[in-house]
Amino acid sequence: MRILISILALSLAALPLSAANLQIYFIDVEGGQATLIVSPSGESMLVDAGWPGFNGRDADRIAAAAKLAGVKRIDYLLNTHYHTDHAGGIPEIAAKIPIVHYVDHGSNTETNPGAQKLAAAYDEVAAKGKRLVVKPGDKIPLRGVEIDVVAAHGAVISKPLPGAGAPNPACASIEPKREDRSENGRSVAFILKYGNFRFANMADLTWNKENELVCPNNLIGTADVYLITHHGLDISNSPAILAALQPVVAIGNNGAKKGGVPGSFQVIRNTPSVKDIWQLHYAIPAGDLNAPEQFIANPEAENCQGHYIKLTAESDGSFTITNSRNNFSKTYKR
C-alpha cells in the first residue's frame, strides 16, 4: 500500500500544474499584445511581449501571470511582427523566464532606424534559443492543442483549414483599403483548437489580408473567441472576417487611447454571434460602444493597475472568462 501511494505521489508530482484545461491569460500591456497560452499538456506559448521600458512594466505583468499559471518556462514565444508594442518587450521577458523556441515570420521588413534596432535586439535574444520561422499552413507544435498558422510575412493559406472553405456572403459588400506594406500586414495569424474550442488571434493583420483569408471563401472557419485585431483599429476588423469567424466573444487589447475606435467596435457589435465584448482597457474613443464596466479589466485612463483577463476552456468547447479586477466571471456553454 505504502509503495502504491508513493508511486501515485511520484506520478502526480510529474504532472504539470494545469492538466485539466486550456488557459489563456490576456495581459494588459497598454495597447500592445501579450497573450499567455497554457496548454492542458502544461506547455506554454506567449504571443508577443508588450512594450519595452516603463521600468520593465510589461515583463513584470507577464511574469506575474506566468507565476499564477505555474509556468516556469515559455516553450514557444511567438513574435507576431516587428512592432514595438509586440516585439519590444521580448528581451525583457527573456531576461526573466527561460524561453525555449522563438517563433516568427522571418526577418523584419521595415527599414527605419527604430525598426532595425528593435529587430536587432530580438535577433540577439532569439539566437540564444531555438528559432522557428513559420509560414501559412504550418503548425506551431505546442503539445496538447493544435495551432494552425493562417497568415505570415504577407502570405495567407491557399487551402481551407479542415471543415472550412464555404463561400462567405459578407464579401459582396467589402471594398479594399489602401495597400499595407508594413509589418502589420505581415503578422503571424493563427487559429488555436482545443477539442471543440477555437480561438482566433490575427495579431495586427490589416483589412486586405483579413479579406484574403475569408473571401470569396472562408478558409479559416469559425472561432468561439476572437482577439480583436490590431487593438480595435478600423484598418483591421473587416466585417467579412467577423462574419466568417462568427465569434461568441471578442476580447479587446486596446489601450485607453490606443485603438478601440468606434468603427471597429461597431462592426463587432453588428456581428450577430457576438454575445459579449471583454476589454483589457476602457477605450476613450469608443464612448458608448465600450463594454459594460464589469467586462473591462482596467476602466481608469490613468494609473492603470494592469489587471488581466483569464479564459479557461474545456475540450467540449465551453469556456469561462474572468476579469481579474473584480472577479466577475461568465461561462459560455457549448
Q: Which residues bind Zn ion (CB under 5 A)?
A: 83, 85, 184, 204
**Residue 253 CA, distance from chain mean position:** 9
- The 3-class SS string of 188-255 reads CEEEEEECCEEEEECCCCCHHHHHHHHCCECCCCCCCEEECHHHHCCCCCCHHHHHHHCCCEEEECCC
Q: Which is nearer to Zn ion, 57 or 83 (CB)?
A: 83
Tell me the closest approach of the beta carbon of residue 206 to Zn ion, in angstroms.
9
Q: Which is nearer to Zn ion, 85 or 92 (CB)?
A: 85
Q: Which is nearer to Zn ion, 108 or 184 (CB)?
A: 184
Phi/psi of residue 203, nearest 5 degrees = 55, -125
Tell me the closest approach of the beta carbon of residue 278 to Zn ion, in angstroms.
18
Q: Which is nearer to Zn ion, 236 or 312 (CB)?
A: 236
Q: Give the whole-angstrom CA distance, residue 258 versus residue 271.
A: 23
Q: Which is nearer to Zn ion, 30 or 148 (CB)?
A: 30
Please report, to the nearest 10 degrees, the dihedral formed by the alpha carbons of residues 275, 281, 284, 288 taken in order. 20
Tell me the closest approach of the beta carbon of residue 230 to Zn ion, in angstroms.
6
Tell me the closest approach of the beta carbon of residue 183 to Zn ion, in angstroms.
6
Tell me the closest approach of the beta carbon of residue 61 to Zn ion, in angstroms.
16
- Residue type for position 7: I
Q: Which three cell numbers stand for residue 191?
A: 487559429
